[in-house]
Amino acid sequence: MIRLTKKLLFAIEAVLDIAYNGGLVPVRSSEITKRQGIPRRYLEPVLQQLVRDGILIGIRGPGGGYRLARERRRIRLGDIVRTVRGLETAEDPISDPAGSELGHKVLRPLWLDLHEEAMGRLDALTLDDLCLRARRAGVAGAPSECGDFQI
């Protein structure tokens, strides 16, 4: 199930920051922390998992940082949500065998339907869409202003 947690919100903000401010230039986690106010203890493990899941590329050494692993238009919000959900340790109550017949036959199927609808909407939104929203909202960004790249 989708739960809006700090970790999820920070992950989306961090990847959007990289898309909006980085372009082909790697973005350091310290820059993301400064711009977005995300505590480092949340940021680093999430960024590393996003690298492992192929959403970001981590570049080591001086001038290193993070950049998108593929074009903004090919990274969906649902991809980021799935990565962060994989990091969560709390058990999903939907799979708990305890509960009433009403819960199992009415509420849980309803909740699963709502989850599928929400994931469908998140899969329909890309980082490109969010960059365009940020530009329309007047959010200051790097000179590339959401510059994309081609593979």
Confidence category of residue 149, pLDDT binned at 50, 70, 90: very low
pLDDT in tens, 6-60: 889 999 999 999 999 987 789 999 999 999 999 888 899 999 999 999 999 999 9
Confidence category of residue 140, pLDDT binned at 50, 70, 90: confident
Considering all CA atoms of the chain, what is the largest pairwise distance in Å, rounded to the nearest integer? Answer: 59
Domain region containing 24: 6-136
pLDDT at 145: 44
In a domain, 117, yes or no: yes
pLDDT of residue 147 exceeding 70, the answer is no
In a domain, 49, yes or no: yes
Half-sphere exposure of 97 (CA within 13 A, CB side): 0
pTM above 0.75, yes or no: yes
| Total of domains in the chain | 1
Higher pLDDT, 31 or 148: 31
In a domain, 75, yes or no: yes
CATH number for the domain that contains residue 102: 1.10.10.10
CA distances from residue 55 to 50, 70, 77, 97, 117 in whole angstroms, order as listed: 5, 7, 11, 34, 23
Half-sphere exposure of 42 (CA within 13 A, CB side): 17
* Alpha carbon distance 117, 2 (integer Å): 11
The closest alpha carbon to 134, from 47, 12, 38, 52, belongs to 12
